[in-house]
């Protein structure tokens, strides 16, 4: 059947929900066009179906399509930022990367290569799905594109700066130690947000601090509140090129049960969205939303949360690109 889409400012937007019911048809993210349906895209959404790096429950390989399926209700105007991100920038769904599930090293290379290829036209990449292992190749690509180590805000219950698991260097618990070792992070401007839960030992925190990470715990968000946290994060990041990595387990399991390593006492989806909105104007060069494992989800709770986090990230990126004249006209 023919697709009927919203078109604004010459940009091809979502399938029009007033013409074709939003529950009909196969789903791209927010019913946006596929990359091959547009001439160019300023912002690309890409899925990474990969979960070979997990230490507990598997299933994040199915995350991207779950987020897409849970994004059918996303509307084109974002009142929280007073922007229409899909009219401001051409946003398109680039489909999924084809990654080897049996060879982590090869998968990491494929992801880095694909991320570089997708951004070769100056577009910004937002990655959905996969386990946290994939942040390493995505950061490699982001820092290569930025031409410098990048700042990072890492939303997660976990530090993910552990050394190895069963002798393996590349896992979902170790990407940010590897990234520091590789010199692709600007260690003056890296911070975890939402951290909580038991650790293996105090050394985990000592190592993490030595690498340069700041920590805003889940309890800090509760006691200090969103505004104070946002001010601190903005001070730390300044106008450096910033990568944002969102592990959906940063949310309390009540808000996001569909994940592989859940920890009690997390932040709410409202807090996460409000912190993200507070980052408006920062120079976001890439973002990922990882660790969505639909087998443990209920009523699309996790999928909806992840799809809205993705929407607010797109809104921030679109707004920044528009303010700098970076979008193709």
Ligand X SMILES: N=C(N)NCCCC(=O)O
User: Residue numbers of the site for Zn ion (CB under 5 A)?
Assistant: 132, 156-158, 160, 247, 249
The closest of 53, 60, 71, 56 to 15, measured between CA atoms, is 71
Does 13 participate in binding ligand X (rule CB under 6 A)?
A: no
Instruction: Check binding of 178 to ligand X (CB under 6 A).
Output: no
Tell me whether residue 46 or residue 135 sits nearer to ligand X (CB atom).
Answer: 135
Question: What mask of x and - would describe binding to ligand X in positions 30 to 69, judged by CB under 6 A?
Answer: -------------------------xx-------------
Q: Could you say which of ligand X, Zn ion, none residue 55 binds, taking C-beta under 5 to 8 angstroms by partner kind?
A: ligand X
Complex with ligand X: residue 93 or 247, whichever CB lies closer: 247
252 part of the interface to ligand X, by CB under 6 A? no
Which C-beta is closer to ligand X: that of 22 or that of 255?
Answer: 255
Question: Does the footprint of ligand X cover residue 207 (CB under 6 A)?
Answer: no
Pick 72 or 172: Cβ nearer ligand X: 172
HEC-encoded secondary structure of 151-211: EEEEECCCCCCCCCECCECCCCCCHHHHHHHCCCEEEEEEEEEEECCCCCCHHHHHHHHHC
Phi, psi of 58, rounded to the nearest 5 degrees: -80, 175
Cα 19 from Cα 3, distance rounded (Å): 9
The answer to whether 291 contacts ligand X (rule: CB under 6 A) is yes
Q: Which two tokens stand for residue 173?
A: 């618990």
Picking from 2, 119, 131, the residue whose alpha carbon sits closest to that of residue 58 is: 131
Nearer to ligand X, 56 or 77 (CB): 56
Tell me how far apart the alpha carbons of residues 288 and 309 are, in angstroms, rounded to a whole number: 10
Per DSSP bridges, beta strands 11-15 and 150-155 are unpaired
Give 11 or 132: the residue with its C-beta nearer to ligand X: 132
Q: Which of 78, 261, 302, 327 binds ligand X (CB under 6 A)?
A: 261
208 scored as a contact of ligand X (CB under 6 A): no
- Pick the closest to residue 81 from 316, 321, 243, 250 (CA basis): 316
Angle in degrees, CA 182, 153, 232, rounded to 5: 125
Residue numbers 116-155 binding ligand X by CB under 6 A: 132
- Residue 172 binding ligand X, by CB under 6 A: yes
Question: 11-15 and 5-8 as β-strands: parallel, antiparallel, unpaired?
Answer: antiparallel
Q: How far is the CB of 61 from ligand X (least distance, A)?
A: 14
Distance (Å, whole) CA 329 – CA 309: 26
Residue from 137, 173, 253, 294 in contact with ligand X (CB under 6 A) = 173
Site for ligand X contains 158 (CB under 6 A)? yes
Q: Least distance (Å) from Zn ion to the CB of residue 32? A: 26
CB count, 10 Å around CB of 212?
14
Residue (244 or 282) nearer to ligand X, CB: 244
d(CA 2, CA 138): 35
Among 247, 252, 300, 319, binds ligand X (CB under 6 A): 247
Q: Contact positions toward ligand X, by CB under 6 A?
A: 55-56, 132, 158, 160, 172-173, 247, 249, 261, 291
């Amino acid at each position: 059947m023919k697709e009927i889409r919203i078109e604004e400012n010459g940009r091809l937007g979502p399938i029009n929900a007033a013409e074709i019911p939003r529950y009909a048809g196969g789903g791209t993210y927010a019913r946006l066009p596929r990359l091959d349906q547009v001439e160019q895209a300023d912002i690309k959404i890409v899925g990474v179906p990969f979960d070979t790096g997990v230490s507990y429950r598997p299933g994040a390989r199915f995350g991207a399509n779950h987020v897409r399926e849970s994004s059918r209700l996303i509307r084109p105007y974002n009142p929280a930022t007073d922007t229409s991100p899909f009219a401001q920038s051409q946003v398109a769904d680039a489909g999924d990367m084809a990654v080897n599930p049996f060879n982590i090293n090869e998968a990491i290379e494929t992801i880095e290569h694909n991320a570089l290829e997708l951004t070769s036209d100056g577009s910004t990449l937002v990655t959905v799905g996969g386990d946290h292992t994939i942040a390493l190749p995505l950061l490699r690509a982001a820092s290569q594109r930025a031409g410098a180590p990048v700042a990072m805000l890492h939303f997660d219950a976990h530090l993910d700066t552990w050394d190895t698991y069963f002798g393996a260097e590349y896992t979902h618990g170790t990407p940010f130690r590897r990234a520091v070792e590789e010199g692709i992070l600007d260690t003056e401007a890296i911070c975890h947000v939402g951290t909580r839960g038991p650790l293996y030992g105090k050394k985990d925190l000592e190592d993490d601090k030595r690498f340069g990470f700041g920590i805003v715990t889940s309890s800090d968000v509760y006691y200090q509140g969103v505004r104070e946290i946002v001010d601190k994060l903005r001070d730390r990041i300044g106008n450096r090129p910033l990568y944002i990595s969102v592990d959906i387990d940063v949310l309390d399991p009540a808000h996001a049960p569909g994940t592989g390593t859940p920890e009690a006492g997390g932040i709410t989806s409202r807090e996460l969205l409000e912190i993200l909105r507070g980052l408006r104007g920062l120079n976001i060069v890439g973002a990922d939303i990882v660790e969505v494992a639909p087998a443990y989800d209920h009523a699309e709770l996790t999928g909806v949360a992840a799809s809205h986090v993705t929407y607010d990230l797109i809104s921030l990126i679109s707004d920044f690109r528009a303010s700098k004249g970076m979008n193709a006209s």
